[in-house]
Every structure is written in C-alpha cells, then in structure tokens.
C-alpha cells in the first residue's frame, strides 16, 4: 500500500494550475510542482490567452517567452505567503529554512526580468519570525518607481502580533538601510492574530487584527499618509471584512461584509450598540467610501446595504422548508461583483453575479453538473481573480475523487467555458480522465436525522455499480434517512440466498471553527479507498460552516455535544444492517452491520474521539492524524500557542464552570477508557 501511495504521488506530482492573470493584467501566471512534490516553479507568459494555456500544459515548451517567476526547493525550505507587486515587476515570498533547528524565515524580493534577488533586513530580534508579506501600491518619486512592502511578525509563542511597512527602491539597490521597517500596528492581546492583505483595487493594504469572535481593520496606502485609517473599532460579537475598489473619482468604494459572530454573547444577543436591522448572524454586505472612515461602532450603519441576510430561493427543501442562500465571500471587480453563496438546507454552493453599474441586473453562474453531480457533490472554489479590471471570473470544481477543473465565466457575455491546458485540466490530469472519473464515481448527499431531530447532511462518494447511479440525478440529493444499503451496496451476483455485498465505509468528521469539511481532491486517500470498494462519507455536523453561522453556533462551545450526536447519527445510519429481504429467497441470511472506520484530522479529533468513547460498538477501526484530543489541558495551559485564541471556540474552564462541565463530558482524553452503556 505504501508503494502504491508513493507511485501515485510521483505520478500526480507534476500538476500545473490553470493560468491566472496578474494584478495589472500584463501576464498570465501558472505553477508547476516537481515530481514527488519536491519543489515548485512558478512561470508567467504574455496574455495571449491561447498561448498562456498551451504553456500551462507544458511550461518547458514555452521557450524564451515563458519566464520563470521564482522557484522553491521543498527539501530545503518551506514556502509561505507570496505577493506580486502591482506593476508585476517583482515577486515577494516568505520561506522558512529546514536546515536549522531554529527554522529561521526570510522575505525575498525577486526582480522577475533580471532574476536579481533582495533579502529584507528585518528589525533586530525578528529575523526568525516573519509571518506574511504583501506588496502595497507603487509610488513615483522623482520619476523613480518605489514600492511599499508590508509584512507581519510573530511573538515568541508564534502568534502574529505586529505589522510593519518598509520602502523598496530598486534604484538604491533594494531596501533602504537609512529607512528601517516602520511599525504600523501591534496587538498584545493573545487572542488576536495580525495579518496583512492588499485590497482588490490595488491602492490599499488592509491590516487585520482578528479573534474568533471579533476583529478590527486598518487601511494603509494611497492617500493615507500617516497612521493607517481605522475602518471600525473592534466590538465583541461582531466581525467584518473589507474590500476596496479603485474608483475613477477621488473617493474609493469600500465594501464591507459584516455579521454577528457570537449570537450567544451578551453584546450580540441584546443588540447592545448593534441594531438588529443592520446585521444578523449571516453575512450582510454594505458599501461606503474611504472618506467616511472610521465608521461608528456605537450602533451606526456599516453603509448602504448591497446584500441583506440570506436570500430565499424558489426551490423548497426535501421537507418543504424554504431554501435560502447565505453569503460566504465575495470577488470584487471594477464593473461586477461575484457573491459565493451556500444553501441553508444542504450546503450546496452557487455563484451569483451582480452588475455594479446596474445593481438589479444579476445572474447565477451555471455550475456544470457533469463533473461532481452538481453543487453538493464536491467543492466550488474561487480562482485567484486578482485582476480588478477583468470581466472574467475563474473558479474550480473538484471532489475527493475528481481533480480540480478550472472554469471561466464571462460576466459580460454570460458564457462559461472550461480552461486549462487544452487537453489537460488545471491539475495536469487529462480532460478525458476527468470526464471518466466523473462517470466512474457517484456523489450523493443525504440528510440524516440526529438525536434531537435535526437533519444533518452527509456526502457519500463511491464507485458506481450500475448505470442507474449515473443517470438518476434527482435521487442523488437530499434524501431524508434513506436505506443506505439500497444506495450503496451492489446487488449480489451469486445465488439468491446470499446477502448483497456490503461496502465498508470511512466516515470523516471535523465540525469546528465554522469551517466546512474539506471535499477537495485527495488522490492519496480517497481514490485508493474508493477503488477498493469503500464508501467515503463526510458528516457535515453542527460546528462546521456548511449551513451557515447558526449551524456553527449550535455545535461550538457549550453545544459541542450536538456535533458528537450528529456524527454518531451518521455512523449509525452507515452501520445499519442491510435488508435481508433485499437478497431474496425464503430463508434470507441474518442482517449484518456495515464496517465503519472513523477518520479525523486536527480539530476533528475532538469530534471523532468523543464519538469513539461514547459508541465504540459502531466502529470497526479509527484513524486520527495530528488530532486535537486533550481539550481540558489545552484550554487551561496559557503557555501553549493557541490557548487564548481557542477559548472562544471551546470555552475557558478556568473561569467558566459551564464550559468546564461541558468539556469534561466530551473531552476525548478526559473520557478515555470510560465507555458509555449502549443499548442495541
């Protein structure tokens, strides 16, 4: 098995991403991973689109017109954040050395045309702790172009806590020794993480200070000569996100997504300083301008509403309930706005396009259902889309068993096309293989009733055993508590008295931080298991983000037990005995349980570990990777890296008796060896 995994990694390692146009629209960029994932090279090419995509299929065939941007050897260093200058002359990237126990990091700036490199001289004592980097706007000074470079550094515990700005002037040989990096912002609260990102319009850099339940943002850049401009003061229970345009007039638009992040907090629940009509638990979108900053945090509006709360869809859910779509994120363009939305019933994704010149003019991007069976079978992910003036939106569609396929939607012509390298998809896999995979594997989403009556989505991926699997589109989605043996198990090909062969199942869970479970392409785990006849099942339990912020809230902190109940309900549905009658015959064999293996990564270890303690009889095996298991210790030991930051998710048992009681009930380590009584 290990040799097979290594062969798959070697064969699939030379993936090439679909080309993305740069921030100034001058070049198309694409990356190539070396065989065995030992390194990465990034290239660019002039934006003759057909040529760019041909080069993406084989960058080495591009000759002198295909230019290397930078390369990294993964055997020597890890690659961190990467940023292109707004004029696409330079690239900045963070690397961390693997050759030293101290693992020092550095920022390298490379002039792409000449290949000349400059290394950022960070302030004394911060050499080992550079966390992220971002190019700001370029300025003309006596005819010479100067760039601002922003970066963040981490404290001794590894928490990014400070943002700096420095001037990069190629005419002076790179970084000015007479003007050391300037400290713009520091946050000493251990629950807050500091980051920097350039806004879409290229004129500003946003400095974020974020906790699990609140944040504040400052803007630096064009027209902001002194201290960065505060967008809105932090307020507990409220989170917001900012994007800025580059308007023709002197006042740039500011788009703000905002929501109540902690509806069970006193501030959010009582509306203290937050008008209920302005924001709710799900994202609302507002527009204001740079000249209106800072906004009042004492109950004032975030601006003019652009998108208010979830949007009702004409289609009803499986139980007749209203189907609404809530906002997850946006892509801002000069003339268009792309809204990435999810269904509140099953978590299905869609993309809605609004013409900013005529706000009433909108359309839904037609997501191809031939790849993963529609919006529920896999994941729809935004492309880079960093060129503000573009009229084309790029996104990818993939599933655990279907590699990423890149699409481009022309927002002006409202047409969709697949992009990539001609006969190759965005992952370097031939289009014919992608199409074959989409027909070879079945994707379903069912709704399983949990202990309290809540319907929990579960995605099923398995190898087709009949033509009906591929043809019955309507039966794939949102069946409520279906008999899974009739969906998953191929009929017996032997005597009529034998039971249908049961496929083993691997049930994957996460359910934390409001993050949807990962349904991206997984050739090292998903394909070998499915090819051997296993069913991959993904439990979209409460605590995740598949059904919105309310779904997350109902599975976090004091309500974490609901996540465990949801996962156990999915496990019980999978393990349920097959129907003896289905096998025919006068004396059908007794029903058998389906073998179910539990699988978790990282924070999913809390969910799966608690489920294993509570109902070990449901599981034949378990596999936990880098699993978080000891919630009790982690939330009481403040010397650990993430303790303060994570208490918003799990609770603080040192001062909150209710949190301590809840953690004691589900913490996998605390309850290890304590097996609950089970009634069959």
Note the pLDDT tens digit of each residue in 199-258.
999 999 999 999 988 999 999 987 777 789 999 999 988 999 999 988 656 567 899 999
Q: Kindly tell me the burial class for residue 267, based on how many C-beta atoms sit within 10 Å of its own C-beta (0-12, 13-18, 19 or more).
A: middle
User: In this predicted model, what pLDDT tens digit does every residue of 414-445 receive, in sequence order?
Assistant: 999 988 643 344 444 455 555 555 678 888 88
Give this prediction's pTM: 0.84
**What residues form DSSP beta bridges with 402?**
399
Mean pLDDT lowest among 183-192, 225-234, 318-327: 318-327
Per-residue pLDDT, 368: 76
Helix, strand, or coil here: 618?
Answer: helix
- Strands of 367-454 (E only): list them: 379-382, 392-399, 402-410, 415-419, 441-449
Average pLDDT rounded to a whole number, residues 107-120: 91
Per-residue pLDDT, 64: 46
Helices (H) and strands (E) in the chain, counts: 13, 37
Average pLDDT rounded to a whole number, residues 564-574: 96
Per-residue pLDDT, 231: 94
Residue 23's pLDDT band (cuts 50, 70, 90): very high
- Strand arrangement, sheet containing 284-289: 238-244, 253-260, 284-289, 304-307
DSSP-assigned letters across all residues of 153-169 = EE-TTS-EEEEEEEEEE
User: In this predicted model, what pLDDT tens digit does every residue of 601-656 receive, in sequence order?
Assistant: 999 999 999 999 999 999 999 999 999 999 999 999 988 878 888 888 999 999 99
Question: Quick check: 628 and 513 in contact, CB under 8 A?
Answer: no
| Rounded-to-integer distance, Cα 251 and Cα 280, Å | 28
Per-residue pLDDT, 273: 42
Dihedral angle sign, alpha carbons of residues 526, 529, 532, 533: negative
Query: Between the ranges 262-271, 275-284, 626-635, 638-647, where is the mean pLDDT highest?
Result: 626-635
User: In this predicted model, what pLDDT tens digit does every residue of 465-515 receive, in sequence order?
Assistant: 765 554 454 455 567 878 887 788 776 654 444 445 788 999 999 999 999
Question: Quick check: 119 and 148 in contact, CB under 8 A?
Answer: no
Question: Quick check: 290 and 307 in contact, CB under 8 A?
Answer: no
Question: Quick check: 516 and 547 in contact, CB under 8 A?
Answer: no
Nearest to 404 by CA among 383, 387, 374: 383
CATH number corresponding to 439-492+500-579+590-666:
3.40.50.1820
Per-residue pLDDT, 71: 93
User: Within a 10 A sphere around the Cβ of 412, how many other Cβ atoms?
Assistant: 11
Nearest to 514 by CA among 311, 265, 259, 196: 259
CA dihedral 197, 148, 191, 636 (to 10 degrees): 110
DSSP-assigned letters across all residues of 467-524 = HHHHH--GGGEEEES--HHHHHSPPPSS-TTSPPPPPPEEEEE---TTPPPP-S--TT
Q: Compute the residue count for the chain.
A: 680
Per-residue pLDDT, 374: 56
Residue keyed to tokens 């064999």: 589
Residue 558's pLDDT band (cuts 50, 70, 90): very high
Measured at the CA of 289, the angle between CA 285 and CA 292, to 5 degrees, comes to 110
Sequence spans of domains, the chain: 439-492+500-579+590-666
| Rounded-to-integer distance, Cα 572 and Cα 152, Å | 47
Mean pLDDT lowest among 67-76, 298-307, 616-625: 298-307
Tokens coding 617? 């009889």
Residue 678's pLDDT band (cuts 50, 70, 90): very low
Per-residue pLDDT, 53: 54
Backbone angles phi, psi at 610, to 5 degrees: -65, -40
User: In this predicted model, what pLDDT tens digit does every residue of 370-405 receive, in sequence order?
Assistant: 666 555 667 898 988 999 999 999 998 888 988 888
């Amino acid at each position: 098995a290990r040799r097979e995994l290594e062969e798959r990694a070697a064969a699939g390692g030379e993936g090439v991403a679909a080309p993305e146009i740069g921030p100034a629209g001058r070049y198309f960029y694409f990356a190539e991973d070396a065989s065995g994932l030992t390194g990465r090279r990034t290239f660019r090419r002039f934006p003759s689109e057909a040529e760019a995509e041909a080069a993406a299929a084989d960058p080495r065939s591009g000759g002198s017109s295909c230019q290397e941007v930078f390369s990294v050897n993964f055997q020597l260093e890890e690659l961190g954040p990467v940023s292109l200058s707004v004029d696409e002359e330079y690239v900045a990237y963070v690397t961390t050395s693997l050759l030293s126990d101290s693992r020092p990091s550095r920022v390298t700036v490379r002039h792409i045309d000449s290949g000349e490199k400059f290394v950022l001289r960070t302030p004394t004592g911060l050499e080992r702790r550079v966390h992220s980097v971002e190019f700001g706007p370029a300025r003309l000074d006596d005819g010479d172009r100067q760039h601002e470079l922003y970066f963040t550094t981490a404290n001794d515990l590894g928490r990014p806590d400070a943002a700096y700005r420095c001037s990069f002037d190629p005419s002076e040989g790179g970084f000015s020794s007479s003007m050391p990096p300037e400290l713009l912002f520091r946050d000493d609260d251990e629950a807050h993480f500091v980051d920097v990102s350039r806004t879409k319009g290229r004129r500003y850099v946003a400095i974020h200070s974020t906790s699990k339940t609140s944040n504040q943002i400052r803007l630096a850049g064009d027209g902001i000569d002194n201290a960065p401009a505060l967008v809105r003061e932090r307020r507990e229970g409220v989170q917001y996100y900012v994007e800025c345009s580059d308007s023709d007039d002197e006042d740039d638009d500011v788009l703000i997504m905002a929501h109540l992040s902690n509806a069970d907090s006193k501030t959010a629940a009582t509306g203290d300083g937050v008008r209920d009509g302005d924001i709710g638990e799900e994202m609302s979108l507002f527009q204001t301008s740079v000249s209106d900053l800072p906004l009042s945090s004492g109950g004032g509006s975030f601006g003019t509403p652009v998108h208010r709360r979830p949007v009702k869809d004409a289609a009803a859910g499986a139980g007749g309930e209203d189907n609404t779509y809530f906002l997850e994120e946006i892509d801002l363009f000069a003339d268009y706005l792309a809204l990435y939305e999810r269904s509140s019933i099953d978590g299905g994704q869609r993309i809605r396009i609004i013409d900013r010149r005529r706000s009433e003019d909108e359309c839904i991007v037609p997501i191809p259902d031939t790849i993963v069976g529609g919006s529920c079978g896999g994941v729809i992910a935004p492309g880079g889309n960093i060129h503000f003036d573009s009229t084309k939106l790029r996104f990818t569609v993939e599933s655990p068993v279907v590699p990423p396929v890149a699409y481009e939607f022309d927002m002006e012509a409202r047409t969709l096309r697949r992009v990539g390298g001609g006969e190759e998809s965005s992952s370097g896999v031939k289009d014919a293989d992608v199409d074959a995979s989409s027909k070879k594997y079945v994707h379903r989403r069912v709704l399983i009733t949990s202990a309290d009556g809540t319907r929990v989505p579960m995605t099923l991926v398995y190898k087709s055993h009949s033509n009906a699997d591929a043809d019955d589109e309507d039966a794939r989605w949102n069946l409520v508590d279906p008999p899974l043996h009739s969906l998953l198990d191929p009929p017996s090909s032997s005597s009529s008295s034998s039971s249908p062969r049961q496929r083993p199942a691997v049930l994957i869970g996460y359910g934390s931080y409001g993050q949807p479970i990962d349904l991206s392409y997984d050739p090292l785990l998903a394909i070998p298991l499915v090819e051997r006849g296993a069913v991959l099942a993904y439990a979209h339990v409460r605590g995740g983000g598949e059904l919105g912020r309310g779904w997350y809230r109902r599975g976090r902190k004091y309500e974490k037990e609901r996540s465990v109940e949801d996962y156990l309900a999915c496990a019980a549905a999978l393990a349920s005995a097959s129907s003896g009658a289905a096998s025919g015959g006068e004396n059908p064999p007794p029903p058998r349980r389906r073998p179910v293996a539990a699988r978790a990564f990282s924070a999913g270890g809390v969910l799966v570990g608690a489920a294993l303690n509570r109902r070990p009889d449901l599981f034949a095996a378990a596999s936990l990777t880098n699993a978080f298991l000891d919630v009790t210790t982690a939330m009481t030991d403040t010397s650990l890296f993430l303790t303060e930051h994570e208490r918003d998710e799990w609770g603080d048992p040192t001062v909150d008796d209710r949190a301590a009681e809840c953690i004691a009930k589900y913490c996998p380590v605390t309850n290890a060896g304590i097996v609950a009584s089970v009634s069959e």
